[in-house]
C-alpha cells in the first residue's frame, strides 16, 4: 500500500507538535510483471504421487510461504508426581491447525512412548476434524512427539498439493521443535494448559527452505491495520529543519559571501494504521528514511520517503507498508 500526503502544513517556530497529516491518497500494491503467484512454484520434476480424486483447490503457494501450524487448547496431565513418568493416567490432548491447508487436526497421546525418566517421549496420534472438508486432497500425515522433561513438542507434517487440472503434484514435508509454555495447577500431578502457540515450520521437501517462512513486515499484524489504512494518517512528533552556514575570514576580513555548508531535515512520524514510528535524518530536500529500520532476511520493509519544500512550507510523505491482520488462520 503506497500513500502520498502532499497537504501543505505551515511550519514555523510557533507550530505545535504533534501535527497530524490525514489527507493521504493510496493505491493498491501490484505483483511483479508477469507473476500471478504469491511465491513461485518449484520447478519440475515433481514428486510422483497419486491424487485421486483431483483436488478442488491448489495449496502450493501457501505451502511454500507458510508451512506453519497453530497449537490450540493443549492440555497435559502427568501420570505421576514428577510429571515425567509415563503411566496409564498420563494424558495429552491438543488441536493443531495447518496454516498452509487451513485445516484442523485433533492430536492426543494414546499410550505409545519411548525412553524412561527425563528421556521419556510421548508419541501423539492425529486425525483431521471431520467437520471440515479438505478441498486440497492433502492426505496429511503427522508424527508428533512431546518430551515432558523440557516441554518440547516436535511436529513433522507430510502432505500433498496439486492443481485441479492435474498438471502437477508436489510432496511436502515440514518439521519444527518448539517449547510449549504450559501453565500447571500445582506442582504435583496438576493439569497443565496452554491456549495458543504459533509454530513456524521449516520446509524439508519438495523444496528445502530453512527457515522457510518469510517474516511478516514490521507491524503488519497490528489489529485494525487493514481497516485503518483506508483512511491513513501520520502523526509528526518531531520536525527540525537546520541550515548551517559559514564564512571565510582571513586577517580579519571576510572573503566572499556566505556559503551554505549543510542543510538537514529531522522528522519523526507515526503511522496511525499500524503504529509504526519512523525517524529520519535527511538532506535539505529529504529522501528515503534509513535510520535502522532494516528488515530481516526475506522480510519486506516499510519504505518511507519524506520531502520538505522550504519555499512553500509543505511536507510530503510517501510510505509503503503491509497489513496481515485479516489472515483467517489467525497467524
Sign for the pseudo-dihedral over CA of 108, 109, 114, 119: positive
Cβ atoms < 10 Å from Cβ of 217: 20
Residue 302's nearest CA partner among 275, 264, 284 is 275
HEC assignment per residue over 212-278: CCCCCCCCCCCCCHHHHCCCCCEEEEEEEEEEEEEEEEECCEEEEEEEEEEEEEEEEEEECCCCEEE
pLDDT at res. 316: 86
Tens digit of each residue's pLDDT (9 = 90 or more) over 40-91: 454 444 444 567 778 888 888 888 888 999 999 999 988 765 444 555 678 8
Q: Is residue 235's pLDDT more than 70?
A: yes
pLDDT of residue 329: 38
Pick from 132, 145, 147, 144: which is nearest to 101 by CA? Answer: 132
Find the mean pLDDT for residues 204-223: 71
Per-residue pLDDT tens digits for 160-176: 988 888 777 888 999 99
Mean pLDDT of the chain: 77
The label of the residue with cell 501535527 reads: 19
Q: What is the pTM of this model?
A: 0.55
Question: pLDDT at residue 24 above 60?
Answer: no
Say what the pLDDT of residue 44 is.
44
For residue 5, name the pLDDT band (cuts at 50, 70, 90): very low
Is the per-residue pLDDT at 144 higher than 90?
yes
pLDDT range class, residue 135, cuts 50, 70, 90: very high
Could you write out the DSSP letters of every residue in 96-112? EEETTTTEEEEEEEEEE
C-alpha to C-alpha distance for 314 and 302, rounded to whole angstroms: 23
Copy the grid coordinates of residue 10.
Answer: 505551515
Contact present, 171 and 157 (Cβ < 8 Å):
no
**Is residue 221's pLDDT more than 90?**
no
pLDDT digits (tens, 9 = 90+) for 241-281: 887 777 777 777 766 666 666 788 888 999 999 999 998 88
Domain ranges in the chain are: 2-31+220-320, 60-205
Q: What are phi and psi of 60, to 5 degrees?
A: -60, -50
Q: Which residue has the cell 548551517?
A: 244
Q: Does 206 have pLDDT greater than 90?
A: no
d(CA 214, CA 51): 28
Contact call for residues 14 and 313 (beta carbons, < 8 A): no
> Percentage of the chain with pLDDT > 70?
70
Cα 170 to Cα 100: distance, rounded to the nearest angstrom:
14
Q: What is the pLDDT of residue 16?
A: 56
Name every residue whose Cβ is closer than 8 Å to that of residue 257 and which is 6 or more positions away in sequence. Answer: 247
How far, in Å, CA of 133 to CA of 102, rounded? Answer: 10
Question: Residue 174: how many CB atoms within 10 A of its CB?
Answer: 27
| Higher-pLDDT residue of 274, 37 | 274
Q: Do 155 and 199 form a contact (C-beta atoms < 8 A)?
A: yes
What pLDDT score was predicted for residue 30? 53
Amino acid at each position: 500500500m503506497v500513500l502520498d500526503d502532499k497537504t501543505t502544513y505551515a511550519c514555523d517556530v510557533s507550530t505545535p507538535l504533534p501535527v497530524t497529516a490525514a489527507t493521504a491518497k493510496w493505491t493498491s500494491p501490484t505483483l511483479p510483471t508477469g507473476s500471478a503467484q504469491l511465491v513461485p512454484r518449484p520447478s519440475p520434476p515433481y514428486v510422483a504421487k497419486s491424487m485421486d480424486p483431483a483436488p478442488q483447490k491448489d495449496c502450493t503457494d501457501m505451502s511454500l510461504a507458510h508451512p506453519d501450524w497453530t497449537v490450540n487448547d493443549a492440555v497435559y496431565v502427568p501420570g505421576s508426581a514428577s510429571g515425567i513418568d509415563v503411566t496409564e493416567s498420563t494424558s495429552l490432548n491438543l488441536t493443531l491447525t495447518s496454516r498452509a491447508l487451513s485445516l484442523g487436526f485433533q492430536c492426543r497421546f494414546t499410550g505409545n512412548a519411548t525412553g524412561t525418566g527425563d528421556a521419556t517421549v510421548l508419541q501423539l496420534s492425529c486425525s483431521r476434524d471431520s467437520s471440515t472438508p479438505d478441498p486440497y486432497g492433502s492426505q496429511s500425515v503427522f508424527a508428533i512427539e512431546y518430551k515432558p522433561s523440557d516441554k518440547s513438542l516436535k511436529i513433522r507434517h507430510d502432505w500433498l498439493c496439486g492443481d485441479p487440472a492435474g498438471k502437477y503434484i508436489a510432496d511436502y514435508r515440514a518439521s519444527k521443535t518448539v517449547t510449549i509454555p504450559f501453565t500447571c495447577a500445582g506442582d504435583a500431578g496438576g493439569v497443565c494448559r496452554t491456549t495458543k502457540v504459533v509454530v513456524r515450520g521449516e520446509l524439508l521437501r519438495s523444496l528445502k527452505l530453512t527457515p522457510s517462512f518469510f517474516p511478516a513486515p514490521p507491524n503488519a499484524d497490528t489489529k485494525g491495520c487493514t481497516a485503518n489504512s483506508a483512511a491513513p494518517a501520520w502523526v509528526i512528533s518531531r520536525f527540525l529543519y537546520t541550515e548551517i552556514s559559514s564564512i571565510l575570514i582571513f586577517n580579519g576580513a571576510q572573503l566572499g559571501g556566505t556559503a551554505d555548508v549543510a542543510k538537514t531535515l529531522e522528522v519523526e512520524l507515526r503511522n496511525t494504521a499500524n503504529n509504526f514510528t519512523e525517524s529520519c535524518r535527511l538532506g535539505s530536500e529529504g529522501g528515503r528514511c534509513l535510520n535502522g529500520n532494516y528488515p530481516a532476511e526475506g522480510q519486506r520493509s516499510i519504505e518511507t520517503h519524506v520531502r520538505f519544500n522550504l519555499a512553500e512550507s509543505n511536507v510530503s510523505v510517501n510510505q509503503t507498508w503491509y497489513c496481515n491482520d485479516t489472515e483467517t488462520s489467525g497467524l
